[in-house]
Structure 1
Amino acid sequence: MILEKERKQIITFSLKMLNDNLTNGTAGNISIFNKEKQLVAISPTGIPYDLLTPQDISIVDLNGNLIEGKAPSSELEMHLIFYRNRKEINSVIHGHTKYSTAIACLQKPLPAIDYMIALTGNFEVPCAPYASYGTKELGDNCFKTMGDGKACLLANHGITTVGENIESAYNILSQVEYIANLYILSKSIGEPIILDKYEIFNMIERFKNYGNK
């Protein structure tokens, strides 16, 4: 069984995403790119997270050809576009998070009401134009809107985050959902103050060295 480590990581983080209320049912998907083998491990379509086995995890090449496992997630193209074009990215997570998706339903970006938004590499989390799930258009919209950042809302759909590893991509997903929750709560009692973009860019630079001392 190839990419055994990646398969197990996908199951671990799929269950974590479910238990942390960052998705529901079989919604959402996770992938990991193995650069050495030039293969992608991705969660399969339609199987509940708590029933996943390592053998179920789909293994595909960068052209989307199935190598092993069950049929891959319908959002495969949204994952592959990042691995083909951003060499620093090794994991992609797509979630149907409650608060981030609520903001995505407004088709507006999530602003910087908390400095931790800097983890996304941008001064806001942009929102990609709507496209039907599983389409190339959705993947293209997500990729173009995210730019060099690491998070993007998907209009009337959900959120996608990327990272150099699965831990990073998951942390960004979790932090963005927390900030989205704060934004909705603060809007209910007043008008939240948006941090200056220069402060956020300063935080982005500081985070690059965080934990290295």
Structure 2
Amino acid sequence: MTEANRQSRLDLIRAARTMAARGLAAGTSGNVSLRVEEGVLITPSAVDYEALTPEMIPLLRADGSHEGRFRPSSEWRFHLDIYLSRPEVGGVVHHHAPHCTALAMARREIPPCHYMITRFGGGTVRCADYALFGTVDLSHAVLRALVGRTACLIANHGGLAVGHDVFAALGAATELEVLAQQYLLSLQAGGPVLLSDQEIHGAIEQFATAYRPNTGG
């Protein structure tokens, strides 16, 4: 194991533990992955995040095979397919956070209820069609829901977000759960007033300027 590969595994473990610490995943639920030169590192199936060590992290190859003693997460397929179809993605976080999962159980997308929805690429966060976990059908459903987006809900399952690296994906997954919570609260207040297509377009343009990387220059 090279030093760079070991550091990538440590980053993956830190992201997974942070996901759990933020209340986005309970027990061994959810899964996290990141792209490396050799393939995809992903959290193993049914192992507590606090117990993880670098040596326990499986490496997925492009053909779906893996290296390592521990089997990869049962959701390895949609992780791998996202990387194969989205070259800009460097990290994927899938969680069963309460508010995202509540909406997913109702098979409801998040509509244009807040300008921050444009953070995920458009005026909605779609809900992927239901399919059995760990299957090709679920992977196809997730890829469809992610077209033009960096996050989606997964029917009767949970939420998912991608980013240029694993910590960007974790940030997006965290913000997705906050947005889901706010939307559910607004429904209790009578329902949100939705933004128009023009307002969403303006927010997308403003978001690209206001939330670009801040280097202090």
Task: Give the TM-score of the pair, scaled to structure 2.
Answer: 0.92
Over the aligned positions, Cα root-mean-square deviation in angstroms equals 1.4
Q: CA deviation at 1:69?
A: 4.6
Aligned residues: 211
Equivalent of residue 18 in structure 2, options 16, 19, 33: 16
Correspondence 1:39-50 to 2 at 5 A: 39-50=39-50
Which letter maps to 2:165? Answer: N
**Conserved? CA contact 1:109–1:153, under 8 Å:** yes
Q: CA deviation at 1:123?
A: 0.7
Correspondence 1:19-38 to 2 at 5 A: 19-34=21-36, 37-38=37-38
- Unmatched segments (≥5 aa) in structure 1: none
Structure 1 residue 194 and structure 2 residue 194: aligned? Answer: yes
The aligned counterpart of 1:142 is 142
**Conserved? CA contact 1:38–1:62, under 8 Å:** no
Correspondence 1:43-58 to 2 at 5 A: 43-58=43-58
**Secondary structure in 2 matching 1:186:** helix
Correspondence 1:119-134 to 2 at 5 A: 119-134=119-134
Identity %: 34
> Counterparts of 1:72 and 1:175 in 2: how far apart (Å)?
26
Greater displacement, 190-199 / 69-78: 190-199
Q: Describe the shift of the 1:26–1:112 C-alpha distance in structure 2 as closer, same or farther (beyond 3 A).
A: same
Which letter maps to 2:195? Answer: L
> Counterparts of 1:106 and 1:196 in 2: how far apart (Å)?
24
Q: CA deviation at 1:67?
A: 2.1
**Secondary structure in 2 matching 1:160:** strand
Q: Describe the shift of the 1:201–1:57 C-alpha distance in structure 2 as closer, same or farther (beyond 3 A).
A: farther
Q: CA deviation at 1:140?
A: 0.8
Deviations 1:126-146 (A, max 9, x none): 001101111111111000121
Correspondence 1:97-116 to 2 at 5 A: 97-116=97-116
> Counterparts of 1:166 and 1:198 in 2: how far apart (Å)?
32
**Secondary structure in 2 matching 1:156:** coil
Deviations 1:133-168 (A, max 9, x none): 111111110001211210110000001111111122
Which letter maps to 1:172? Answer: A
Correspondence 1:154-165 to 2 at 5 A: 154-165=154-165
The aligned counterpart of 2:7 is 5
**Secondary structure in 2 matching 1:161:** strand
**Secondary structure in 1 matching 2:118:** helix
Task: Give the TM-score of the pair, scaled to structure 1.
Answer: 0.94
Correspondence 1:171-210 to 2 at 5 A: 171-209=171-209, 210=212
- Unmatched segments (≥5 aa) in structure 2: none
**Conserved? CA contact 1:106–1:155, under 8 Å:** yes
Which letter maps to 2:168? Answer: S
Which letter maps to 1:25? Answer: G
**Conserved? CA contact 1:41–1:58, under 8 Å:** yes
Which letter maps to 1:97? Answer: A
Structure 1 residue 86 and structure 2 residue 86: aligned? Answer: yes
